Chain A
Amino acid sequence: MPKLNLRQKENLDGYLFLTPAILFFAVFMVYPFFYSFYLSLQEKTGMKLTDLSFAGLTQYQKVLADPEFISSLINTGIYTFSVVFFQVAIGLLTAVVLNRALIGKTLTRSFFFIPVIISTIVCGVIWTWMYDPAASGLMNRAISIFGIEPIAWLKDPKWAMTSVIVMSIWKWIGYHMVIYLAGLQGISNDYYEAASLEGANVLQKFIHITFPLLSNTTWLLVITSIINSFQIFDQIYTMTNGGPMGATNVIVYFIYKAGFISFDLPYASAAAWLLFVVIFILTLAQLKVQSKNEQ
């Protein structure tokens, strides 16, 4: 066997170490990714999942003309907008307060953080119970303290989306808090001391020092939070199944139903690709922010 020179040995070693990862990516990511696009150009012709024939962009036209898809798009937008805003804002406020030397802050942080680690499914189940429409449900008892009449929450088309949004905000506050706490570590105390000497109050310090210096963290959180919220599924599956009357039907739930309840794979794939385009643009924005961060 001829002896390899050093350069050849480096190349061989490199690919040897990468073989498992490359094989995996080829089979379980790259191939299905393009396969999914191929599926979106097909049309169902028989009972079997794989009875398909080429149909061009028909599925895309059908999806875009489907009022259920459009309303799920709007619902996802409403959900995303509300959840992202409150998660980031509340996360920032709690982080700023808990960053100070307060008694019991480790315990308090853990309390905020526990909802993050409990699975979304379990959280959804717990909140469904709290949102019990009976007057004796926990939420209805809580609002009755303020003299508000019982609400049917998840069973009321007017309230269902709000209920899901509140639950999601609760679940992810701790996550945003922790990321902000890490960001706050990077701000030198000198800034605050200088500001104190000039007589700045707490609010002024926050507006002129903390918030601007955290802007990279904020951007990162806003964009990741948008990307994640666009893909909301677990909450909807456990809490509402998209109801009542489609009030909480979101895109990924729409795709799930088309794909695995109606078994129309091409249709579901086309919807998935439309959502992907949106998420792709957002991810590019995120990468741009990130590379700015690293500079």
Chain B
Amino acid sequence: MQENKYKISRIILAVIMLLLGVLMMVPVLWMVVTSFKTKGEIYLPNWIPSVITMENYETVFSKIPVLKMIGNSLFVSGVATFFQLLIGTLAAYAFARIRFVGRNIIFTIFLGTMMIPGYILTIPLYLIVDKLGMVNTLAALILPRLVSVFAIFMLRQFFYSIPRELDESAFIDGASRFRVLFQIIVPLSKSAYAALLIFSFMNMWNDFMWPLIVTNSETMRTIQVGIAYFKDSNTMDYGATMAASLLASIPILVVFLIANRSFVQGITMTGIKG
């Protein structure tokens, strides 16, 4: 009797939570539904369009170079993520395994830069990029994002947790530091890399203020900036705006579906970072 009551209350709780979850999804679902509705139906509250139309997508493709923008975002996010992990790996290895003079001081300074909020750097960075003649180039989007202190910090913590004996014996046997790092330590840190990869990529993909400032032609824009401009120039055409938004979200949603677990792990690591 007691047992049954307990079971029923659990089922009710599960249903309530699931319904709340669906409620959380309403905006996302509304975007999907709207993007397939005809102009005449857009303001109607039906959740299943009576006619599924592609006209909103055609509008997006004819008005903005949306694939080029998604390509820019993929390129910028991909390259920056790659360098954040590569440079992060080298630095983390130095901090975790090499005893050099000034190690602690340099590490503290690195950590200190985490306190510098991004917006304070945008104005001087813009002047630097301007001086280098790189305004409105993809290089300008990538350059200030090549290194992530967070990646260095996380990888250092992870390298610490790997027993020294594993790599030190190889080092004593005459393997170079690079070999030790890339053939022993890195393969042992796969889970940290998976989480960082996703986290860095997502941050870059969603980056907005810097690409907004540093690009000024349509073909150089990242998809986030493209969407923001498209929304402003199509204020009444929500079908097309929703179609563009959905297109902009597909890559990150795909990453999420493939790597759900690493995704959550990556986010949890940011919580450790604080």
Contact = CB atoms under 8 A, between A and B. Distances in A.
Nearest to B130: A49
A116 B267 contact: yes
B217 to A, nearest CB: 16
Interface in A20-43: 20-22, 24-25, 27-33, 35-36, 39
B13 to A, nearest CB: 6
Interface in B159-211: 177, 202, 205-206, 208-209
A121 interface: yes
Contacts of B206: 119-121
A57 interface: no
A268 B123 contact: yes
A77 to B, nearest CB: 17
30 contacts: A14-B100, A18-B90, A24-B146, A28-B147, A32-B124, A35-B127, A36-B120, A105-B14, A110-B21, A112-B24, A119-B206, A119-B208, A120-B206, A120-B208, A121-B248, A125-B241, A126-B27, A126-B28, A126-B30, A129-B30, A138-B30, A174-B24, A178-B267, A178-B268, A182-B271, A220-B274, A231-B117, A259-B122, A260-B213, A272-B123
Nearest to B32: A126
Contacts of A262: none
Contacts of A74: none
Contacts of A227: 117
A130 interface: yes
A128 B230 CA distance: 13
A265 B123 contact: yes
A4 interface: no
Contacts of B10: 100-103
Given A18-B91, A50-B127, A122-B248, A10 B100 contact: yes
B65 to A, nearest CB: 17
A111 B20 CA distance: 9
Nearest to A17: B94
A280 B115 contact: yes
Given A29-B116, A111-B21, A129-B241, A179 B27 contact: no
Interface in B222-272: 224, 227-228, 231, 238, 241-242, 245, 248-249, 252-253, 256, 260, 263-264, 267-268, 271
Given A125-B241, A127-B27, A117 B91 contact: no
Interface residues of B, number: 82
Nearest to B107: A18
A136 B228 CA distance: 24
A283 B21 CA distance: 33
Main SS at interface, chain B: helix
A interface secondary structure, majority: helix
B139 interface: no
A100 to B, nearest CB: 8
Q: Which 10 A-B pairs have the closest CB atoms?
A: A14-B100, A111-B21, A32-B124, A179-B271, A17-B94, A35-B124, A119-B206, A21-B91, A108-B21, A136-B43
Given A97-B13, A119-B249, A234-B208, A21 B87 contact: yes
B123 A259 contact: yes
Contacts, number: 254
B28 A115 contact: yes
Contacts of A269: 123
Given A102-B14, A120-B208, A24 B87 contact: yes
A175 B273 CA distance: 14
Interface in A152-188: 170, 173-175, 178-179, 182
Interface string A245-283: 000000010011001100001001100110110011001
A211 interface: no
B123 A11 contact: no
Contacts of A170: 24, 27
A141 interface: yes
A233 B122 CA distance: 13
A21 to B, nearest CB: 4
Q: Which of A121, A252, A260 has the most CB of B within 10 A?
A: A121
Contacts of B106: 18, 22
Nearest to B145: A28
A102 B17 contact: yes
A15 interface: yes
